[in-house]
Amino acid sequence: MGTKQQVILSSLADFRRGTDLLDHPGLNKGTAFTDEERSNLGLHGLLPPHVENLESQVVRAYEAYKRKDDDLERHIYLRGLQDTDEVLFYRLLLEHIEEMTPMVYTPVVAQACQQFSHIYRRPRGLFISYPLRGSIPALLRNRANAEVDVIVATDGERILGIGDQGAGGLGIPIGKLSLYTLIGGIRPERTLPIVLDVGTNNAERLNDPEYIGWRHKRMTGDEYFDFVDQFVQAVKKGTSRNLSSIGKTLRPHMPARFFSAIKTSC
């Protein structure tokens, strides 16, 4: 992963420099940027002078992880690391896979979905909400990377035994795709987590002043199915012809016709 990153860094040197480069989780290496890279990419002064290797960064990251008092705090820490330095995030997970996999996905992701609006920090993936149903192709074009191999989408209704979490259900696609990268080797920038925000029937979420989703009762019947159909058609037309799979965490009674044209992977 480090070698590929060096190639990407070289090819993007003319496009991302300085803080713009450090703010990109797929390209940021933090203190592991070499002196030559720091000179070429305008990073001197933005980083402490000592150049570290990835192994040293993992040691520091693990020390910070162990200082967290509970599982939700550990989940928040790992998600924050993922949003700032993906190479370090995945290397840390790889070296502590049995310990950290439950923090990234089940069972801790269920608690993270419940608290999603309270722990939200920065964008990852897409929120496709019902009020913007007429603009789904445009929303898909706003994704961070045009080339996508795997999409995992959820409507947030049935989340790991804790029920309807509305927009908070996005934690499931994020966690699942993290494992696809960690274990399956899928490039993280070619994955896309999506929540189809059709409202929620969870009164606790609707009454939460910090809830970040669409504050409306969940859409049902033809309105719901038409919305999902629009989404599927937009994915078919607006993503790469090489899209290999779209995982679905939608209603179990979804008509099969909605996914018949796309190879599915749950």
Q: Which residue type does 244 have?
A: S
Distance between CA atoms of residues 92 and 90, nearest Å:
5
On the question of a cis peptide bond just before residue 255, with omega within 30 degrees of 0, the verdict is no
Q: Where are the beta strands (DSSP E) in the chain?
A: 126-129, 150-154, 191-197, 245-249
Among residues 77, 75, 79, the alpha carbon closest in space to that of 63 is found at 77
DSSP secondary-structure letter at 170?
A: G
- The sign of the torsion formed by the CA atoms of 145, 118, 174, 61 equals positive
Could you say which of 176, 211, 224, 248 is catalytic? Answer: 176
Could you say which of 65, 105, 180, 224 is catalytic? Answer: 105
Active site residue 237: no
- The sign of the torsion formed by the CA atoms of 198, 203, 204, 209 equals positive
**What are the residues whose beta carbons fall under 8 Å from the beta carbon of 75, sequence distance 6 or more?**
103, 104, 108, 109, 111, 112
**What are the residues whose beta carbons fall under 8 Å from the beta carbon of 154, sequence distance 6 or more?**
169, 170, 172, 173, 194, 195, 196, 248, 249, 250
Distance of CA 61 to the CA centre of its chain: 20
Distance between CA atoms of residues 231 and 226, nearest Å:
9
Strand-pair category, 191-197 with 150-154: parallel
Which residues are known catalytic residues?
A: 105, 176
